[in-house]
Structure 1
C-alpha cells in the first residue's frame, strides 16, 4: 500500500539522527491519531529499495531480504500520551552543558524510533537480516496495541531470533520486564441513614483491612537469570459511597501487582488471591512478564557489542513493556533506547541529544 502523497515529509533518514528525532516528534501522534506519522514513516522507508515495506493499519514494517542465517527485530511504538503544550520540540542547553531535546515523545519513545529509522536507511547490508517495526496504540489499552495486532494478523512479519525494543533505558540495556496485574478488591455492607449509622454496615470501613494487608505486605526482590527484579503490590485507587448522608454498602480498592518474570500469570493471580483471602477479588487486567534471556548467545553478543560503546551492564526492566509479546512468541527480547524513563510522560519531557547519537552508534556497531 503506497503512502498518501499528503503525508508530512521526514528529513533524510540517513542524515542527522537528532534532527530526525525532532522531526518525528513534531508530527503529533497521540494514541489514536498516528496516521500522519505512520504515513510519513512509510513514505520515507519506501525511498530505500533495499527494504521491503509492509503496513497494517498504522503499523509500518520494513525488512531486509538478504538471506542471512539470523534475523533480528528492532521495534518501537510511534504513539505518545497527550501533548501538554510541549510541541514543537526545542533544543536547550542544560546547566551541566549537555544539549537536550525538549518535547513530547523525545523520551517515550521517538528517540528510539528515530534511531531505528536512521539505521534502517543506512544499513543496506547488515550482518543479519533486520525487521524494523513501527507500531501504534501502545500507550492505551493492551487490546488496541498495534504490536499485538501484528502478532494476531501477521506473526510471520515478526519472526526473528532476537528482538530489541527501543523503549527509553537512558542508553543502558534492560533485560526482560515485570508482569502486571490489576485487581478490584470489593467489600460489602448494608446501607442506612448516617444519622442512624448503627443500623448499617459500612463497606468503606471494612476496606481498612485491605489497606492494612497492603501496608504489611513485604515486596520481594527476585533474581531471574542474573538480574534482580523488584516486585510491588500497591493500592492505586479506591471508590465507594452513595451520598453524604448514607452508610455505603460497597467499596472497591483497586490494586496493582508488579511481579517478577519468574512467575507466570496464573501464579501471580493465585498470589494476589492469597494475600486478600476472604475478600471478593476480581482480576481486571493481567499480562505476564518476560525473562531477560541473557543466556542466549545472540543476546550475549548484543550485550557485548553495545556495552563496548555505552559502558555499564544490563539491568532489569521494572515496568511492563512489549518485550513480553516477543517472549510469548519465543523470541528473546531486550529494552534499549535513549531517554531517561523517569521523564517519560512528563510535561518537561526531554532527552540528552548525545544519548540519541550514542544509541545509534551502539546499535550500528552490533548490526553493521
Structure 2
C-alpha cells in the first residue's frame, strides 16, 4: 500500500477530532438503553436505539453511503450504510451495537450518565466506551476516506445494530446479515478487553446462562438447631422438621466452585489466559414463600450463573459436565435425593474465533500499528481475546472472519462513571481507515 492515501486519511481524521467528540457526546445523550434488559420499562425505553441509528445514518450518508434503516420489531431499527467500491477488491464490514445497559445507579455517578461530560482527555457517560465511541470512530473513518477522495475497490459496509446487550442477535447482527449485508470480513468496535488500548481481538468465549432452582421445607427459624441435628445424625434427613433451601443451594454451589477451580487446567484455549473460563454465581434469590423474613427457614432458592467456556468446546459437553457435577452432589445429599433441583438454561451465546494468523487479523494488527505511529499507542498491537460475549460469534458462525478492535476499556463497560479516552477514539478511527484501505484496496 502506498503511504500517500493513508497519510491523507490519517491527517483528515486528526482534523475531525473536535467534531468526533461532539458527535460522541450527542450519541451518549441519547438514552438508548436496551428496553428488554431486566427490570426496565420497555414502553419508556423503546425507540432510543432507533434514534442512535438515525444519528449514524446521517454520518453514513456524509460518507457517501447508501443507507437503510430497518427493524424486526417497531422502535428498534438497525442501520446499514454501504459505500460502494470501484470493483475488484475484498469487502469489509464495520459493525457495532447502538444499545447500552441501564444506569439505574446514576446517583453514584460523578456526572449524569445520559448527559455527556467532556474533560481534556475523556468523554464520560453511559455507552461512551461500550460502544458508541467505536461506532462514531467507524463512521468518521468512512467519512475521512470519502472526503480525501480515497476510493476503495471493495465495498465498505457500516452496521449499527440493536439488541446486543441482551443477547438479541436475532434482532440485530443476525437480522442484518440475513438481509444480505454480508462481506469478506468484519471489524467489531468492542472496547479493548486487555490492559493495553486498541487490542486486536480475534476470539470470544461461549457464554451460557444457567438457573438452578432448589426447594426446601419452611419452618420457624428456631427449628434450625433441630434441623441441623437431624442432618448430622442422618435421622429423618429426607423428611426433616425443616430444610433450608439456601443451605442446600450452597452445597450445590460448593461443588460447582470446585469444578470451576478444575477448569483452570481442564478448560483452556491458546488465545485465552488460564482461568479465563468460569462458572460465576451472580444472582441469588432465596426466602420462604409468602414471607421474605428471617423468622422463617427458606423453602426456595434460585441460583443464576454466567458460564464462560472455550469457543472450540461444544455446549453439550459443558452442560453435561455441569449436570453430572450437580447430580453427584444430589446423590450424596439425603434431602436433595428426594427433592432434586431443577436446572434451566435460559440463554446461550456460542463462542467464536478467527485464527490469529488469518489475513484479516494480520491486516488489522498492521493497520493498528501504522495508525498509532507517533502516538502514545505506538508499537505492535496485542492480539488477545475479548473476555465476554460479542457479535463476533454471529459473523464466524456464517463463515465471515471477524475481529474486535475498539476504543475504550472493557473494565469501563457497564461501570459507574463509564468513560472513553478521546485519543483512543481517534486512534481507532485511524486504524479502521487504514485497515479498510489495506483489506479492500485503494482504487
Normalising by structure 2, what TM-score? 0.72
Q: How many residue pairs were aligned?
A: 348
Paired residues of 1:187 and 1:203 also in contact (CA < 8 A): yes
How big is the shift at 1:195? 5.0
3-state DSSP of counterpart to 1:187: strand
Q: Distance in 2 between matches of 1:223 and 1:202?
A: 36
3-state DSSP of counterpart to 1:300: helix
Match of 1:78 among 98, 102, 108: 98
Spell out the pairing of 1:140-219 with structure 2 (5 A cutoff).
140-142=166-168, 145-152=171-178, 154=179, 156-157=180-181, 159-169=182-192, 170-196=197-223, 198=227, 199-216=241-258, 217-218=260-261, 219=263
**Structure ranking higher in helix proportion:** 2
The equivalent of 2:286 in structure 1 is 240
The equivalent of 1:40 in structure 2 is 55
Structure 1 residues not aligned, in runs of 5+: 1-11, 94-98
Match of 2:65 among 37, 51, 69: 51
Match of 2:394 among 315, 325, 330: 325
Pick closer, same or farther for the CA change 1:226–1:190 going to 2, 3 Å.
closer
Pick closer, same or farther for the CA change 1:188–1:87 going to 2, 3 Å.
closer
3-state DSSP of counterpart to 1:23: helix
3-state DSSP of counterpart to 1:109: helix
Structure 2 residues not aligned, in runs of 5+: 1-11, 35-45, 72-76, 107-111, 228-240, 331-340, 373-379, 438-443
Q: Distance in 2 between matches of 1:107 and 1:45?
A: 20
The equivalent of 1:363 in structure 2 is 432
Q: Deviations over 1:1-22 (max 9, x none)?
A: xxxxxxxxxxx99933333322
1:283 is the counterpart of 2:349: no
How big is the shift at 1:360? 1.2
**Structure ranking higher in strand proportion:** 1
Larger deviation, residues 77-86 vs 337-346: 77-86
Larger Rg: 2
1:269 is the counterpart of 2:269: no
Q: Distance in 2 between matches of 1:345 and 1:187?
A: 30
Q: Deviations over 1:179-209 (max 9, x none)?
A: 1111122333334444556423332221231
Paired residues of 2:125 and 2:417 also in contact (CA < 8 A): yes
Paired residues of 2:268 and 2:277 also in contact (CA < 8 A): no
* Cα-Cα RMSD: 2.6
The equivalent of 1:9 in structure 2 is none
Structure 1's consecutive aligned runs of 4 or more residues displaced over 6 angstroms after TM superposition are: none
Paired residues of 1:225 and 1:292 also in contact (CA < 8 A): no
3-state DSSP of counterpart to 1:236: strand
The equivalent of 1:24 in structure 2 is 27
Pick closer, same or farther for the CA change 1:69–1:139 going to 2, 3 Å.
same
3-state DSSP of counterpart to 2:190: coil
Pick closer, same or farther for the CA change 1:291–1:61 going to 2, 3 Å.
same
Q: Deviations over 1:14-73 (max 9, x none)?
A: 93333332232233322232222222322343344x422122121110112323331111
Paired residues of 1:177 and 1:292 also in contact (CA < 8 A): no
How big is the shift at 1:290? 0.8
Pick closer, same or farther for the CA change 1:68–1:224 going to 2, 3 Å.
farther
